[in-house]
Amino acid sequence: MWWFLFPHCMYHLIRWFPKNNRLKIRILILLLSVGFLLPQFYVLLVEQSSRYCGQHLFGLLIASIVVTFVMLGFTFLFVLMDPIPFEVKFAFNCYGGLTCILGVLFIILSSLATECQNNTPILYYYSLATAVLSGISIGIYALLLPFWILNRLYRNSVLDKKGRTGICYEPVNCCSCIWHV
C-alpha cells in the first residue's frame, strides 16, 4: 500500500511551497518517483528471479511494476494540478483499495515464501521489503480511517479548517499533511 501513501504524501508536500516557487521540488519529486522503478526492473532482469519459487512472488513483482507506473501517474497529477478534480480523487481512492489488496498479498505470500530465500534471494528480499512497507502504510491508514469516517458521518466534527474547530484541529493545524487528499 506504499504505492498509495507516496502520492498522498507528495500531494501534501508540494502544497507546503508557494505556488510560484514549486519548480525545483516538482523536479525532485518526479525524479524520486521514477527512481522507484529502478530496483524493480533490476529484480525483474536478474536471471535468478525467474527460477521456480513455491509462492507467486514473480507475478507479484510484475503487478508491483504495473502499480508503480500508476503511482507515477497519480504523483505527476498531484504535483502538477491544483486543485484536484473530484474524478481524480475518486480514481485515486479506488486505486488505494487495489494497492491495499496488493499489499496484503505481498505480506501473506512473503511470509509463506521462506523456501524462496534460497532459490530466488533477490526476489524474496524485494518482496519482503515491499511487504514491510505495505504493512507500515496499512498501519498508518488504519490509524487515520476512524477519523475520516467520523468526519464523513458528522460533518466537520473532526476537522473544520474554516471554522477552526474539531477534535483534530490543533494537531493538524500546522501539519495538515496527516489529514487527507
Q: Is residue 161 part of a domain?
A: no
For residue 142, which phi and psi values (nearest 5 degrees)? -65, -35
Q: Is residue 100 part of a domain?
A: yes
Radius of gyration of the chain (CA): 19
Three-state DSSP at 143 gives: helix
Write the Ramachandran bin of 156: left for phi over 0, alpha for psi from -120 to 50, otherwise beta: left
All cell numbers assigned to 177: 499533511
Whole-prediction pTM:
0.83
Q: Is residue 152 part of a domain?
A: no
User: Rounded distance, CA 75 to CA 89, Å?
Assistant: 12
Range of the domain at 11: 2-129
More confident residue, 70 or 19: 70
Query: What confidence score (pLDDT) does residue 177 get?
Result: 47
For 34-56, write each residue's pLDDT tens digit: 999 999 999 989 887 777 777 88
For 111-141, write each residue's pLDDT tens digit: 988 888 888 889 899 999 999 999 999 999 8
Q: Is residue 84 part of a domain?
A: yes
pLDDT over 80 at 105, yes or no: yes
User: Rounded distance, CA 113 to CA 102, Å?
Assistant: 16
Q: Is residue 53 part of a domain?
A: yes
Query: What confidence score (pLDDT) does residue 157 get?
Result: 65
Task: List beta partners, residue 160.
Answer: 165
Instruction: Give the total number of structural domains in the chain.
Output: 1
